[in-house]
């Protein structure tokens, strides 16, 4: 799962898509994680090191894939709660500009009878926007 999350994060970042990530700044019980690793004959440093932890987990997954889910769950619990952050590779400028253009050209000018009509008009506006405006991704 950790590897899959990394792949997805790199994919979104490479294509400049925003993403939501769980970040654990400092593991709450790193000392206990070090003890668990020691039981598996693996030496983790005394200070938190994400690369060393990844190496340990990958090694144990390869060595014993059947009991790995229990180990990974224990480690996740010991990491403690994280925070969720929005990562926007280009910052908010492009998103803010898009939202302002949409408001100026559609939302502030139209009244919608219902959600279905709003969806139809918004979809049509997005089609026009994508065809009419020059986009930096196109060169």
Rg (CA), the chain: 23
Verify that 30 and 62 share a domain, yes or no: yes
For residue 75, give every residue at least 6 positions away whose Cβ sits within 8 Å of its Cβ, in sequence order, or none. 33, 36, 53, 57
> Which positions ≥6 away from 125 have C-beta within 8 Å?
102, 105, 106
Q: What is the percent of the chain with per-residue pLDDT over 70, rounded to a whole number? A: 84
Residue 118 or residue 24, greater confidence:
118
DSSP 136: G
Q: Which among 67, 87, 107 is the end of a domain? A: 87
Let me know whether 81 and 97 are in one domain: no
| Beta carbons within 10 angstroms of residue 16's beta carbon | 12
Q: Are residues 54 and 118 in the same domain?
A: no
Pair (66, 101) in one structural domain = no
* Of 137 and 76, more confident: 76
Quick one: pLDDT at residue 92? Answer: 65
Mean pLDDT of 78-104: 77
- Whether residue 132 sits in one domain with residue 78: no
59 and 29 in a common domain: yes
Domain that holds residue 44: 2-87
Residue 139: the pLDDT is 45
Task: Examine the domain organization and report whether 14 and 66 are in the same domain.
Answer: yes
As a whole number of angstroms, the distance between CA 30 and CA 134 comes to: 50
Q: pLDDT digit string (tens) for 40-67?
A: 999 999 999 989 999 999 999 999 999 9
What pLDDT, on the 0 to 100 scale, is given for residue 58?
A: 94
Number of domains making up the chain: 2
Residue with tokens 């294509």: 15
């Amino acid at each position: 799962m950790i590897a899959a999350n990394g792949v997805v994060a790199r994919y979104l970042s490479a294509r400049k898509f925003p993403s939501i990530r769980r970040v654990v700044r400092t593991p709450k019980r790193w000392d206990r994680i070090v003890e668990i690793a020691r039981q598996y004959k693996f030496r983790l440093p005394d200070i938190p090191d994400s690369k060393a932890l990844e190496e340990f987990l990958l090694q144990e997954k390869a060595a014993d894939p059947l009991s790995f889910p229990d180990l990974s769950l224990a480690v996740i619990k010991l990491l403690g709660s994280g925070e969720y952050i929005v990562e926007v590779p280009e910052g908010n400028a492009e998103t803010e500009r898009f939202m302002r253009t949409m408001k100026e050209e559609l939302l502030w000018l139209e009244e919608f009878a219902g959600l279905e009509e709003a969806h139809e008009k918004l979809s049509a506006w997005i089609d026009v926007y994508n065809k009419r405006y020059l986009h930096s991704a196109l060169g």
